[in-house]
Amino acid sequence: MRHRNLGLAIFICLAMLTTPCFGTEIKYSHKIDVEKMSFHWEVAGTVLHVKLTAKTTGWVGIGFNPSEAMQDANFILGYVKNGEAKVTDDYGTSYTKHQQDSKLGGQKNISNVVGKEENGMTEIRFTIPLNSGDAKDKALSIDTETVVLLAYGAGRDSFKARHKFRTTLKVNLKTGAFSK
Ligand code: HEM
């Protein structure tokens, strides 16, 4: 009996250690509010934890380091449908278009995806590597200025729906300082 209890305790400890931290409340040190949208983030070693919220029942999205407009940006978009968060890892293929990394020879590099939709607000949380090594992601440098695009859709749960709101910011991911 004692052996069985010990076995159970070891099993529970191992399960807790190996379970990915889905839903774990991350402390985000930085936050930017723009119109009806917020970008929260936390740099943790080699990864970036992100929380995006916006007044929409459609998608929320972030883009990093375009060469111009939306071109060459690393995009992550997410929406919540029937209580389930869906995210896509895209790349800006022109000033006004983006496509999934996986269709361009890259990969989806997003983990810890969680989302909720409440009272007309959508919240998506996820983690990305600062440098995934993927040809269709750009390495993020936390010490220098990062161009951050923030946008949200008008209400349709579709990554094809255009933005209702979008903006471009220059952000120091380490200090949280930003400008438009
Ligand atoms: C979901 C599908 C999307 C479509 C169909 C789309 C389409 C377009 C189009 C047609 C423009 C040019 C016209 C305009 O300024 O409104 C544009 C500009 C822009 N988009 Fe998107 N977009 C999408 C997603 C996103 C996402 C996810 C972001 C950022 C997270 C974003 C950020 C921007 C920005 C910042 C501009 C302005 C660029 C500039 O004027 O320099 N877009 N988009």
Nearest CA to ligand 1 atom 36: 69
Nearest CA to ligand 1 atom 21: 96
Q: What is the pLDDT of residues 7-66, one digit of tens each?
A: 555 444 444 443 444 456 799 999 999 999 999 999 999 999 999 999 999 999 999 999
Q: Is 173 in the pocket of ligand 1 (CB under 6 A)?
A: no
Q: Is 54 in the pocket of ligand 1 (CB under 6 A)?
A: no
**Whole-structure pTM value:** 0.87
Q: Is 162 in the pocket of ligand 1 (CB under 6 A)?
A: yes
The hierarchical CATH code for the domain 28-179 is 2.60.40.1210
Comparing CA positions, the residue from 138, 115, 140, 108 lying closest to residue 58 is: 115
Say how many Å lie between the CA of residue 163 and the centre of ligand 1.
6
Q: What is the pLDDT of residues 76-115, one digit of tens each?
A: 999 999 999 999 999 999 999 999 999 999 999 999 999 9
Burial environment of residue 82 by CB neighbours within 10 A (0 to 12, 13 to 18, 19 or more): exposed
Q: How far apart are CA 3 and CA 9, in angstroms?
A: 10
Residue 42 DSSP SS3: strand
Comparing CA positions, the residue from 44, 58, 72, 81 lying closest to residue 149 is: 72
Q: Is 87 in the pocket of ligand 1 (CB under 6 A)?
A: no
> Ligand 1, residues 34, 70, 93, 164: which to mutate, most atoms within 8 A of Cβ?
70
Q: Is the pLDDT of residue 170 over 70?
A: yes
pLDDT attached to residue 7: 54
Q: How far apart are CA 8 and CA 2, in angstroms?
A: 10
pLDDT attached to residue 18: 39
> Ligand 1, residues 166, 167, 170: which to mutate, most atoms within 8 A of Cβ?
166
DSSP letters spanning 52-108: EEES-SS-EEEEE--SBTTBT-EEEEEEEETTEEEEEEEEEEETTEEEEGGGTT---
Which of the pair, 173 or 20, is modelled with greater confidence?
A: 173
Residue 148 DSSP SS3: strand
Q: Is 50 in the pocket of ligand 1 (CB under 6 A)?
A: no
Q: How far apart are CA 98 and CA 72, in angstroms?
A: 9
Q: Is the pLDDT of residue 4 over 70?
A: no
